[in-house]
Amino acid sequence: MPARMKLSSVYSTLPPAEKKVADFILANPDGSAHMVINEIARCAGVSVPSVTRLARKLGYSGFMDFRVALASGSSSVKSDAVLPISPEDTDGEFMRKLMIGHMKAVESTLKVLDLSTVSALSERVLNCRRVVWFAVGSCVQLAENVSEGLCRIGIDSVVIDNKAIMRSYAACLGLNDLVFAITRSGKTQATLDCLKIAKEKGSETVLITNLINSPGEAYADHFICTSRQDELYRACGYETGTSICALLESFMMLIERKKGFGFPENRYGTAAGLDQDV
């Protein structure tokens, strides 16, 4: 995953000093890739150890490793110029920046998405006993959209979102069950608990999140980290689900194609013996 995408992913979890470093790097992506650690610390107004801690938190051995990663992806995207969102923006400017942010989140996800993993998971969906989705809050709708689509093409799929029974349901799972956990923040304890229990019961587990260092990765056979645009997070106050939504929609269509519904005239049509989606 590109260094700047990692930085955006963990931004909301950083302490103040490390956020200052992140702010400087995100605002000066090309320049910071060619600066020494003392220069970045001085420009960000923090100590040198703060820069080092941030680099290690992102999974790098130290600042030099981090700087190399920054330099390897230092081509600027012109639409960066429209961000950040400002209280002085007109409604039109605000909407334009949000829309560009959503597009960039999807684009960033596509750049790092392991498409071979997605393809393998689509095969597992077709051959497992049951597909189970664990989600709470705003992630429930994301899970329901794809789960309902799976049911329409004859695949046993269910969404479990009731916190009172989630853990008990997870404990009933086992071999040949495919379990997806969706948490945009990467830290939703109820969802991660179910992922852990399902893993212990022998199910194949998948974690989909916006957080690169989610603790749930330890319980996932497959870890899929999508991108968020942190300016959207600051403006809206919650994780954007744009990337996850695009991923799941595309995943659903891939499975449909494998089931023989890959062309518009065949999707949910009468020839397939299914009701038309209205």
Confirm if 159 and 185 have CB atoms less than 8 A apart: no
* pLDDT of the residue at 185: 85
* pLDDT of the residue at 79: 43
* pLDDT of the residue at 191: 97
Domain ranges of the chain: 1-74, 112-269
Q: Name the CATH architecture for the domain at 112-269.
A: 3-Layer(aba) Sandwich (3.40)
* pLDDT of the residue at 155: 95
The pLDDT tens digits for 152-189 are 999 999 999 999 999 999 999 999 999 999 998 889 99
Q: Round to whole Å and give the CA distance between 127 and 155.
A: 9
* pLDDT of the residue at 74: 47
- Residue 132 has phi, psi (to 5 degrees) of -120, 135
Q: Do domains 1-74 and 112-269 have the same CATH topology?
A: no
* pLDDT of the residue at 94: 82
* pLDDT of the residue at 271: 39
pTM over 0.95: no
Select from 2.60.40.10, 3.40.630.30, 1.10.10.10, 3.90.380.10 the CATH code of 1-74: 1.10.10.10
* pLDDT of the residue at 270: 41
Residues of the chain with confidence (pLDDT) below 70: 1, 73-84, 229-240, 262-278
